[in-house]
Structure 1
Amino acid sequence: MSEQQTKLMDEEMNTYRVQGFSCANCAGKFEKNVKHLPNVQDAKVNFGASKISVYGEVTVEELEKAGAFENLKVAPEKTTRAPAAEDKEKEEKVPFYKKHSTLLYSTLFMALGFVSMGVNGNGNVVTALLFITSMLVGGTSLMKTGLQNLVRLEFDMRTLMTVAVIGGVLIGEWAEVSIVVILFAISEALERFSMERARKSITSLMDIAPKEALVRRGGQEMMVHVDDIAVGDIMIVKPGQKIAMDGVIVNGYSSINQAAITGESVPVEKFEDDEVFAGTLNEEGFLEVEITKLVEDTTIAKIIHLVEEAQGERAPSQAFIDKFAKYYTPVIMVIAALVAVLPPLFFGASWETWVYQGLAVLVVGCPCALVISTPISIVSAIGNAAKKGVLVKGGIYLEEIGALKAIAFDKTGTLTKGVPVVTNFEVISNKVDEQKMIAIITALEYRSQHPLAAAIMNKADEENVSYADIPVEDFSSITGKGITGRIDGFSYYVGNPKLFAELSKSSVDNKIENTVESLQKQGKTVMLAGTENGVEAIIAVADEVRETSKEALHKLHQSGIKKTVMLTGDNHSTANAIGGEVGVTDVRSELLPQDKLEVIKELKTKYNHVAMVGDGVNDAPALAASTVGIAMGGAGTDTALETADVALMGDDLKKLPFTLKLSRKTLNIIKANIAFAIGIKVLALLLVIPGWLTLWIAILSDMGATLIVALNGMRLMRVKEEE
């Protein structure tokens, strides 16, 4: 760890929400200004989430002074409220004409200028004053910042615009300069609006959970703000109400709509001891819920925090744009200077004509569309994914998913549910009926510590068979083979086929052997039950395959994933049976955790981009070694939320093909945006050759490109799971 990193760890880090960012360049300048404040060690702006993290001591007043060039408003981050909610409400009440009064007045003076031009002519003093007034009203803030940048030799879009405006005024192009100023203001407003729309895909998550809850304390029910609710409080949730906090049901049962957290479209049945999440909807029953987490630790709070952090992680394409823009603006200024100077100096051309063309080049060179092309796409895509129950923890992972060629799946808890269930139960003997046989077997398993005992007890519970009160004498475990005990004077055995083969009076006939062999080939664990005189029942237990696994893998193969591998510690026959059922292209069985790591390394060598899908707790080395680590069951699983690059919140593998589609669409849109933003600049610059480029065409092309790029990026908010 570097000395700088050590110092930062020692400093207190505070996060503030920022209102007023109009562009990524402005966010970068604000970050730079904050870093130069006296007691600040470092600062990092998250443009996507409109936040800044500051290491060191700083006041809100100092931060707002650092952002005065953009009239930024800063407020400390609040966990339980939407960013600057009060300011937001006030802003919504401000009429349109007041909110955009500067732009409207500037447009009015420009219109009067054109009227005066028609009446009094172009050279009239009144005409000139009207256009100059229009420029001053609409462009004072722009030129103030631009001049400051010019003095500091900081070249950004405002610097370019300021030089162009001043140059236009000096050569007497009043009308065109006023049009340029107004169109630039409109372009910035559109850019701000489009980013705010994209951000709303995240900030809307903050409004999902109620800010108050009905809590029972000291025998009385009272409404309490979520900030004041403590762990252990009992929350009352009535039918039709949203759940305000994470907790465990202590009384009641209901159907809960968890779409806001997990993306599940179908409500989930919840009973006593089941976990519920803040922001989910109680559809039917009356619930009493014991609070298990403080408001800042709820699943929805963690999702919001992680998604906002993800917006701040620069994707590879964003890093390219940032680097490109750093050199792009000075190069444009040099090109503009050459266009203005070379033709008059060497070819005797008109100074006025080519200085005008040079100014138009400056305006064309504004990189607004280029700078916004990537962040708006990343923010829109990450926000859409979060609403569908997929938590992508950074632009880099969003891009990497689209390049995947191979995906490895852990079996237990990923392709399967991870909970063994009884799949087959067949009574062989005519001496005892099915219900009694289930009761006898379960009474024995009830006293067992075997991992499969729970599956048999669940089977009995489902069929309402009573077993806990059945007396069992001489119960004992036969290591590696099964269990035995006396019920109603008879010795009963439950165990594997080897156990019955060794019982002196018992013989396993061919029919039973064939049934056992057939079930084992299906990947099931087979147990026999009976007495010394023979087998009376066959029980098959298996880890049930998820309903979505086969469909998800089919869609992944259709999407062009070349290799899907199932990794498991199970034996070959069980692994092959399940692998064949779900449809993976390869099965690797009898693996230890280190073996799974080696498989991931092998796949990376061959396919370069490999994902590992696991439960987020086990298989950590394999998840870490993969290009993208994808965790199942993020909802309520802190480890999955914290360690994975991507978390599928609802245990739904069908979200994986959607994530792949979203990632590829994001990559395509980013590439298209970058190509279009650069292409439109090149096309406009080519108009310089015949001398057709004008200031208003230049700014119109920039504004049009910005608008098209923003709208194209925002399409990612509407990508659906099925189309």
Structure 2
Amino acid sequence: MERRNNLMPSEQQTYRLNGISCANCAQTFENNVKEINGVQDANVHFTTSKIDVVGKASISDIEKAGSFENIKVIRENTEPEKEPFLIRYDKVLLASLLVVFGFIANIMFGNAHYLPNVIYGLSAVVGGLSLFKAGLINLTKLRFDMKTLMTIAVIGAAIIGEWREAAVVVILFAISEALESYSMDKARSSIRSLMKISPNTARIRRNGNEQTVAIEDIAIGDTILVRPGERIAMDGTIIDGYSSINQASITGESMPAEKTHGDNVFAGTINQDGFLEIEVTKKAKDTTIAKIIHMVEEAQEERAPAQAFIDKFAAYYTPAIIAIAASVAVIPPLFGGLWSTWVYQGLAVLVVGCPCALVVSTPVAIVTAIGNAARNGVLIKGGIHLEQIGTIKKIAFDKTGTLTQGTPQVTDIHFFSDEHSKALSCLKGLEARSNHPLAKATMTYMNDEQQDITAADVQSFTALHGKGIQGEINGETVFAGSPDFFKNVPNEVRSYQKAGKTVMLCGTDDELLMAVALRDEPRTESKSVIQKLHNLGIKQTYMLTGDHAQTASALKYDLKLTDVKSGLLPEDKLNFVKGQENGNIAMIGDGINDTPALAASKVGIAMGSAGTDSALETADVALMGDDLNKLPYTVKLSRKALGVIKQNISFAIGIKILALLLVIPGWLTLWIAIFADMGATLLVTLNALRLLKIS
């Protein structure tokens, strides 16, 4: 909608729709809305059942534009009410009952009697009134969609006296639409379930008083009160309380996260066992769950390459079917065939040629896959990225915080002196006075594993830039730092270094007391994730790091990576990604430091993006939880989705070709035609719904 950019945001309204049954109906509805006085533009999103209206139009005006389909219009933040089954399909049930009466009348009075045809005709009118209404309007505007073709076929069948065929075709078409509507609702259920996650109201404390208010009325800085078992209504920071929070709806993590004062929490997550006071940090429209829902809905509307191809193909397909149907109806009678026989065959060609199954084959798979991914803590930003992940053969990983824990940890200690307590006491005394990351990691180890050791009293403490630290302990100068600081370095130190570990020594001028080996350890899941990716057909896995070659080489061996690139600056990572053939590589990183490389890759994947606005905005794919296991799942889902799309297109075209071949011996009937169309639509939809089961 190009004109929208020139309009004030207030002139656009978004509504939810109830009753959209097919993609072609959505297009007809969109065109009708555009013709409303005061409407400058409109865009119907079939996959998410929404419409954007630019300009001025009342809900009743918009519903009138959708009266051919009995479309109901609901405000965006309102959950549509489901009609009871008997009310929603009352006309179909009545039409079916009339067909049964028609069969009975046919048996009682015979084929020549007028009564069966009257009943069949009444059944066709009752069951197909909305169909005929939309089809005739389309005919006057030369729009040849599915309903137009069906209307021509049913009216033609009535003209040549095939009243029973006309009635049954109308009923089967209505059933087909009902099944498609049900299936699309099922596919959309992932997004609807996300929408229900966050409460509509919250209990807050204002001016010392507790009150329950709508989330739209909560301001930044308000304090919300959350009891055990309740869902958190807003993004915020805990100011009082301690609890376990189930964050599966945001991050996909199965284990609850422990949260206390100063920790951030997300709307839609569940407070399990503590009372919390939370200071609101974002408005309702800006919460993480609101952004996820919005982005997933946008992603479902973004056309994948396969869908774009189908759209172009359908533009030529429908006119071609009309031409074939006309040829079947007219040409054989010119050479001696019966007009009634071949006109009937031509009408059957129109019915079987309905492009419904073909049009829905790709979007239903994309909707299902992206919705399933969102429920599992993976945000895929569009159908194009869903397809691209499935074609990737190379993945590059950032090291720190992606393949590794992100902070150094003590892996080994080795004593060169028999006085272990003295060595530990000296090291603890020195490191307690340093702010270096390695010192902090050492102190964490000391406090966890060596709690009985008392830190030595250190005098004249000095930090030696680039080398280490020193201080006087019991009148003796003790050093702690790089092995280069010491004269004679034992072989044990060299073996640690070959394993990619950073070594820190502690000792005096006369005696070496101990060695501490540290490393930014790989995540527990990193090795298995790399193996899973290789099993899924990823040929090459790279690690891109600024660390020195020994550390990189050791991690390559430990994790079974294909290759590593060490000593890289951010621009070096960018050049590496750009240098790949056709740029056919995915890059996974933290979404901030590696932004250039992420942007240059075919698919940029941000790691641990929950609550990180920049990562949500810039990445093609965001793994919301800090869980690398979501990467093989995403690749697997994408591969499955690609397979389903190809299968659906093959089913949709193949079934129609088989049905059209029945024209040659004259075996194609309206019944077979509608069953072929209905069967193809149902088949592609049910096939796509299998993607909901992938986990």
Give the aligned partner of residue 628 of structure 2: 653
CA contact (8 A) 1:8 1:41 kept: no
Give the aligned partner of residue 45 of structure 2: 46
- Deviation, structure 1 residue 469: 10
In the superposition, the TM-score normalised over structure 1's length comes to: 0.91
Match 2:481 to one of 487, 495, 506: 495
Give the aligned partner of residue 208 of structure 1: 197
Counterpart Cα distance in 2 of 1:469 and 1:56: 73
User: Do the aligned partners of residues 531 and 60 (structure 1) sit closer, same or farther apart at CA in structure 2, a change above 3 Å counting?
Assistant: farther
Give the aligned partner of residue 505 of structure 1: none
- Deviation, structure 1 residue 465: 4.9
1:592 partner letter: L
Give the aligned partner of residue 689 of structure 1: 664
Match 2:316 to one of 321, 327, 337: 327
Give the aligned partner of residue 458 of structure 1: 444
Q: State the number of aligned residues.
A: 694
- Deviation, structure 1 residue 427: 4.2
**Is 1:588 matched with 2:576?**
no
User: Do the aligned partners of residues 464 and 535 (structure 1) sit closer, same or farther apart at CA in structure 2, a change above 3 Å counting?
Assistant: closer
**Is 1:34 matched with 2:33?**
yes
Counterpart Cα distance in 2 of 1:114 and 1:684: 26
Give unmatched runs, 5+ long, in structure 1.
79-83, 502-507
Match 1:571 to one of 548, 557, 569: 548
Give the aligned partner of residue 477 of structure 1: 463
1:101 partner letter: D
CA contact (8 A) 2:426 2:455 kept: no
User: Do the aligned partners of residues 437 and 468 (structure 1) sit closer, same or farther apart at CA in structure 2, a change above 3 Å counting?
Assistant: closer
Give the aligned partner of residue 574 of structure 2: 597
- Deviation, structure 1 residue 129: 1.5
**Is 1:278 matched with 2:267?**
yes
1:386 partner letter: A
**Is 1:625 matched with 2:600?**
yes
Match 1:354 to one of 339, 342, 345: 342
1:624 partner letter: A
Give the aligned partner of residue 248 of structure 1: 237
CA contact (8 A) 1:632 1:649 kept: yes
User: Do the aligned partners of residues 385 and 10 (structure 1) sit closer, same or farther apart at CA in structure 2, a change above 3 Å counting?
Assistant: closer
- Deviation, structure 1 residue 522: 1.8
- Deviation, structure 1 residue 541: 2.3
**Is 1:705 matched with 2:691?**
no
Give the aligned partner of residue 421 of structure 1: 409
1:627 partner letter: K
2:92 partner letter: L
1:45-444 equivalence runs, <5 A: 45-78=44-77, 84-85=78-79, 87-88=80-81, 91-92=82-83, 94=84, 96-345=85-334, 347-431=335-419, 433=421, 436-444=425-433
Counterpart Cα distance in 1 of 2:326 and 2:255: 63
User: Do the aligned partners of residues 51 and 344 (structure 1) sit closer, same or farther apart at CA in structure 2, a change above 3 Å counting?
Assistant: same
SS in 2 for 1:54: strand
User: Do the aligned partners of residues 175 and 220 (structure 1) sit closer, same or farther apart at CA in structure 2, a change above 3 Å counting?
Assistant: same
Counterpart Cα distance in 2 of 1:456 and 1:295: 43
Q: Deviations over 1:143-169 (max 9, x none)?
A: 111111111111001110011111111
CA contact (8 A) 2:426 2:456 kept: no
- Deviation, structure 1 residue 253: 3.1
SS in 2 for 1:419: coil
CA contact (8 A) 2:204 2:222 kept: yes
User: Do the aligned partners of residues 463 and 290 (structure 1) sit closer, same or farther apart at CA in structure 2, a change above 3 Å counting?
Assistant: farther
The alignment yields a C-alpha RMSD, in angstroms, of 2.4
SS in 2 for 1:693: coil
User: Do the aligned partners of residues 453 and 106 (structure 1) sit closer, same or farther apart at CA in structure 2, a change above 3 Å counting?
Assistant: same
Counterpart Cα distance in 2 of 1:431 and 1:182: 91
SS in 1 for 2:469: strand
1:482 partner letter: G
User: More displaced, 59-68 or 589-598?
Assistant: 59-68
User: Do the aligned partners of residues 453 and 439 (structure 1) sit closer, same or farther apart at CA in structure 2, a change above 3 Å counting?
Assistant: closer
CA contact (8 A) 1:444 1:485 kept: no
- Deviation, structure 1 residue 217: 3.9
User: Do the aligned partners of residues 42 and 543 (structure 1) sit closer, same or farther apart at CA in structure 2, a change above 3 Å counting?
Assistant: farther
CA contact (8 A) 2:424 2:453 kept: no
Counterpart Cα distance in 1 of 2:491 and 2:278: 51
Match 2:613 to one of 638, 641, 648: 638
CA contact (8 A) 1:460 1:466 kept: no
2:356 partner letter: C
- Deviation, structure 1 residue 100: 1.2
Q: Deviations over 1:292-319 (max 9, x none)?
A: 2222222211111111111111111111
1:595 partner letter: D
1:68 partner letter: S
Match 1:668 to one of 636, 643, 652: 643
Give the aligned partner of residue 18 of structure 1: 17
Q: Deviations over 1:211-256 (max 9, x none)?
A: 3334344445444433333333333333333333222333343333
1:152 partner letter: K
Amino-acid identity (%):
57
Counterpart Cα distance in 1 of 2:479 and 2:94: 92
Give the aligned partner of residue 498 of structure 2: 521
1:365 partner letter: G
SS in 2 for 1:444: coil
1:521 partner letter: K
Counterpart Cα distance in 2 of 1:460 and 1:250: 31
User: Do the aligned partners of residues 294 and 687 (structure 1) sit closer, same or farther apart at CA in structure 2, a change above 3 Å counting?
Assistant: same
CA contact (8 A) 1:601 1:625 kept: yes
Give the aligned partner of residue 534 of structure 1: 511
Q: Deviations over 1:174-232 (max 9, x none)?
A: 00100001111111111111001110111101112233334344445444433333333
User: Do the aligned partners of residues 375 and 585 (structure 1) sit closer, same or farther apart at CA in structure 2, a change above 3 Å counting?
Assistant: same
Give unmatched runs, 5+ long, in structure 2.
none
| Moved segments of 4+, more than 6 Å | 466-471
CA contact (8 A) 2:503 2:515 kept: yes
CA contact (8 A) 1:46 1:309 kept: no
User: More displaced, 415-424 or 7-16?
Assistant: 7-16
Counterpart Cα distance in 2 of 1:539 and 1:287: 41
SS in 1 for 2:412: strand
1:394 partner letter: G
**Is 1:550 matched with 2:527?**
yes
1:384 partner letter: N
- Deviation, structure 1 residue 580: 1.7
Q: Deviations over 1:593-614 (max 9, x none)?
A: 1111121122234xx5311111
CA contact (8 A) 1:669 1:713 kept: yes
Counterpart Cα distance in 2 of 1:13 and 1:412: 44
CA contact (8 A) 2:430 2:469 kept: no
- Deviation, structure 1 residue 42: 3.6
Counterpart Cα distance in 1 of 2:88 and 2:67: 18
Counterpart Cα distance in 1 of 2:624 and 2:296: 13
CA contact (8 A) 1:336 1:362 kept: yes
CA contact (8 A) 2:430 2:458 kept: no
- Deviation, structure 1 residue 553: 0.5
User: Do the aligned partners of residues 276 and 461 (structure 1) sit closer, same or farther apart at CA in structure 2, a change above 3 Å counting?
Assistant: farther
1:406 partner letter: K
